[in-house]
Every structure is written in structure tokens, then in C-alpha cells.
Chain A
């Protein structure tokens, strides 16, 4: 192996890499940085939107996708992942991006419904026949029940899980915060492992067969039934849950630099159209449009839902109090260990 040959290989490699990068840049592309369970949703949605975009403008569009725990994804965008749009699990994660100056602080007022084109809630996924007889949140704190949920520090779904449990405890104990803290602490004592994202937790429960119950996004739970068959798992709807509003936003600095604002905005607005809402509903997200909501009403359980704004006073104070370093979650999780 001569040195000269090595050099030519190196040169060839560099050229190849350069060509690869150049080719990727030459296309009209959007990057959608999203949270974990939306993979299937955006595969369908991107296809529909690219078709519409091409018929309206004649331009070919590629939508690139990145998925992961919502908090982790927000972190990547803050660190420079060039997302044209973010579609994350909860408002605070986009607030965090706004705090770093990448998009306007009033982002949530720019689109209808708190910029959340679809909603979801938290339900339980149990093994067929429900062997541990899990009916409601209070069954999760019983000794011997193993609960699977991802890590609230990195996962948006896990934060909704945690807050739904908290809201249930408040409701049962006449809004006694200390009792709620004790209840959620008890619950997390039954959690053997914390995955970083919702999909990881689902795989832990369904594939590695750990735990008796998975706290899951409604859409994620239905998807598991669809993937693995209703003969393996059952969905249990608790007496009370939380209205999860996964918001979407255009990242101002990125689209202005890349010149993609128009297509990025059209992309998010398409989520609110009849077609977009229908794709969401088909992927088990609750549509906002009243028309489609009634059309797909049979898909979604009728459950009492509290909201983050009414019960917890919005995401910023909630994040600060529960999930910041040394917050309530850190206190109860360390005590539980």
C-alpha cells in the first residue's frame, strides 16, 4: 500500500463527502425536528404536504425528519441543529428554544389553538387480561406493580405522565400539594427504568417485556395495539387525565437564514386543514377541528381532562417547580432510590 495510493483514496473520500453535502443542499428541503412518537404521523403528513406543495408551486420538496425525546430535541436545536420547524411534545421545550433567541417569544400566539394543531392525552397500556387489575392511577402506587415511563427530564410524554398523576392526586385529596407529592413519589418508586424518550419506553414495555403497565401517549398506545395486535395488550383509560397539547413553531432565525419561511409556514398551516387534521386523527391524535373530532369521536375515549394552564398555571412555572434541577421530580426520585 503506497502512500500515494492512500492519498488518492483520501482525496476521493473528501470529494465524495463534499458531493454528498452539496447534493443534499441543492434540494428544496425542510427539517422538522419532532418528538418521539410522531414518526408515523409525519411520514404520512410529509407525503401529503409535499404533494400539495408541488401542485401549488411546482417545486419538489423533501421534508427531513429527526425524532427523539422532546427535551433532548429542543437541546439539539439550541445547539445548532438547523430545524426549520419544531413540532415538540410540550410548550416549554419550544419556550427554551425561544429563550436562546432562535425564535420570537410570542411563538405560541402565532397559530390557532395555542399553536397545537392536535392534542392527545395519557392512558395506560397493560398486558392482555390486565393481570394486575389496573383501573386507575391509584392502582399504580400499589406494591408489586411495576410502572414503565420515560424520564421527565428528557421526554415530553413523561412530563405529561407525571403531571397527569399529580392532577389525579390533587383531585382526590382536595388540592393538597403535599399529598400529591407523596402520591407521585410513591408511583415513581414503582418505576424500574427511565428511558430517555417515549418510544424507548414503549419498546421496553412491549419488546423487552418489562413492567406491568406503560404510561403512554394515547396515540402511542393505539399504535402499539396496531403493531402487536390486540391479543397482547389492552388500553386502560383512567378516571382523569391531562389534555396534552403538543405545539408546533417555525424557527425564525433558521428559516430567515435559509430562505424557507414561506414553505415552513405553509407546512404548519397545513396541519390545521381538513386533510392535515384527518391525517392526525388517523394516526390517533385528537383533531382540533370540531367536524373531524365528531367524525373520529369513536376512536378516542371520553375522559375527564385537566389542562396545564388551569391546574398548573402554564408550562414555565411548572417546569421550574417540578422538572428543573433540584425540583420536585429530583426530590422524589432521589428519595425513591
Chain B
């Protein structure tokens, strides 16, 4: 780095920078990298073959499939909801807007266990709607619909929380201009709003997806833990661990970790590929 009087006056001394970087890296290494490596090390302790056998085991495959099904339903649902909510909150003025924002945040402040219990209280046999649903032969909790509902609830705010500040910052002038020029509501949304928010939206969806696949507490309450049927990957990891089946437990955990890594890589790749565009929309 060239010695520049203004720059050095404006920046911290070199030792401070190094110290900060070292601290950050140590933290990352200790709390992120090391556990991640440990997961893979444990999973591969008995070799690649044992790892593979653990993954293609019937219940493990069922858990992976179920996790993907839950995410595939919950994430798009929250995508639609998130866009609609942030559109409504940032482009319009109405009474009770703050209340709505607070409500959107609710799943973040409520413990996931409570989120699960809400559904047991609603759809359980001794709950509000349970007896009716049972008589109709509809199973919500202790089945896939309950898992999806609980996941939607806990991942509710991710997309909206990502979009609201972005859209607030962008304001509604462009939309107003589009309307003045004769665009319809849909046209305005597709041609003006969506291109402006797509990166924030993508980021929100990725976060939402990561949480949807990794959620433990809420789904644990509504799952009923029927092996091969209502165990998502995080629940299956716990079961395997409790059965002294450590290689399998860590093997499934490593798949979860890999799904998270893929998500991250996808995000980075998109940012790299469309970096310029991203910067342009962010600093509008």
C-alpha cells in the first residue's frame, strides 16, 4: 500500500488493522470452519463407503426427500408473501402499517418451540380444529402439512425483512413515473419494481431456504418423529446421534452443511456474475 499522508491519517494504524483481521479470522476459524471440518471428519471416519451407506439408507433418504419437499413448498410461499407484504408496506400509506410490520417480525421474536405448539393447539386432537379435521380424515400435525406450516411460520419474515428496507430506500418515484406514463399496475411491478429488488429478493430467498431446511425446534414439536415419514434431516440427525450411530448422524449433518454451502456458493456466483448490475441497483 503506498504511503499517503491523507490515507494514513484517515485509516487505522497497520497493527490495529492486522489485529482486527487476525481476530476476525480466528473467530471465523474457531466457530465456523473448525466445526464444519469436524462434521465432515466425523462423517468420513469409517471411510467413504460407510459414509455412502449411511446416506442411501432408507430413512436417511426419506429425511432428505422430506426436507426438500418442505423447503420447496415453504420457500415459494414466503417469496410471494414477502414481496406482497413489502410492496404493500413501502408503496402505500395506511393506518396500522407499523402494527403490520411488527406482526411480520413476530416469528423472529417467538421461540420456535412456541411456533410449533401454536399448531398443536390449533390442529391437535384436543385443539381448536383438530376434532373436526380428524372426522374429515385430514391429518395436519404429525404429518407433512404440519411440517410445512411450521416451517412457513418460522421463515415468514426472511424475504419481507430483506425487501422492506431496500424498497423504502428506493422510494416510489420510479413507480409513480411509470404510472404517469401509462403503465398498468402489473407492468409497473414486472418492469420497474422487480428489476430493482431482485438482488435483495434473491438474498432473502436464500436465507429463507437455509432456515427452512435447517429448522429444528418448531418441526420437532409437530413432527411426531415417525421414522422414514415425518423426520426432516435435522430431526433425523438427532435420532441417529441418540442411537449411537455417529457416522450416520454426521453424514446426514454433512449433507445439510453441503446444502448450506451450495446456497452460499450460488449466491456468490450470482453476485460475481451480475456484480455490476447488483451494485447499480443497491446504490440507486
Contacts and interface: CB of A to CB of B under 8 A. Distances in A.
Interface in A65-124: 65-68, 76, 78-82, 100, 102
Given A39-B243, A66-B227, A200-B242, A80 B124 contact: yes
Interface string A2-14: 0100110110111
B217 interface: no
Contacts of B225: 66-68
Instruction: Classify the secondary structure of A's interface with B.
Output: helix
| Chain A interface size range | 35 or more
A51 to B, nearest CB: 17
Contacts of A31: 226
Contact of A100 (B125, B134, B198, B242): B125
Given A64-B228, A76-B224, A80-B125, A13 B72 contact: yes
Contact of B144 (A1, A20, A81): A20
A203 interface: yes
A203 B246 CA distance: 12
Interface in A174-229: 199-200, 203, 227-228
A79 B76 contact: no
A79 B226 contact: no
A68 B142 CA distance: 14
Interface string B114-143: 000000100111110010001000010111
A80 B229 contact: no
A14 B229 CA distance: 17
Given A64-B229, A66-B227, A82 B72 contact: no
A80 B76 contact: no
Contacts of A3: 190
B224 A203 contact: no
A303 interface: no
B144 A21 contact: yes
B148 interface: yes
B201 to A, nearest CB: 8
Contact of B141 (A7, A12, A80): A80
Nearest to B243: A39
A171 B43 CA distance: 50
Interface string B58-93: 000000011001001100110110000000000000
B244 interface: yes
Nearest to A18: B144
B242 A6 contact: no
Nearest to A67: B225
B73 A79 contact: no
B241 interface: yes
Contact of B244 (A13, A17, A227): A227
Given A6-B79, A199-B242, A81 B229 contact: no
Contacts of A227: 244
Given A76-B224, A79-B141, A80-B124, A16 B72 contact: yes
Contacts of A203: 241-242
Interface string B131-162: 00010000101111000100000000000000
Contact of B77 (A10, A65, A76, A81): A10
Nearest to B127: A79
| Chain B interface size range | 35 or more
A80 B73 contact: no
Contacts, number: 85
Given A64-B228, A66-B224, A66-B227, A12 B72 contact: yes
B29 to A, nearest CB: 24
Contacts of B77: 10
A26 interface: no
Contacts of B228: 64
B142 A82 contact: yes
Interface string B209-232: 000000000000000111111000
B66 A80 contact: no
B73 A14 contact: yes
A228 B202 CA distance: 47
Contacts of B242: 199-200, 203
B241 A10 contact: no
Given A64-B227, A66-B227, A79-B120, A20 B76 contact: no
A80 B148 CA distance: 17
A145 B142 CA distance: 40
A79 B142 CA distance: 9
A202 to B, nearest CB: 8
Given A66-B225, A81-B142, A200-B242, A10 B73 contact: yes
A17 B67 CA distance: 11
A10 B122 CA distance: 25
A33 to B, nearest CB: 8
Contacts of A14: 73
A266 to B, nearest CB: 21
A81 B127 CA distance: 13
Nearest to B125: A80
Given A81-B224, A203-B242, A13 B127 contact: no
26 contacts: A3-B190, A6-B76, A7-B76, A9-B76, A12-B72, A13-B72, A13-B76, A16-B69, A17-B144, A17-B148, A20-B144, A31-B226, A64-B229, A66-B225, A76-B224, A78-B125, A79-B126, A80-B134, A80-B141, A80-B142, A81-B142, A81-B224, A82-B139, A100-B125, A199-B243, A203-B242
Given A14-B73, A79-B124, A79-B125, 15 more contacts: A6-B76, A6-B80, A9-B72, A9-B76, A16-B72, A21-B143, A39-B243, A64-B229, A79-B127, A80-B125, A81-B142, A82-B139, A199-B243, A203-B241, A227-B244
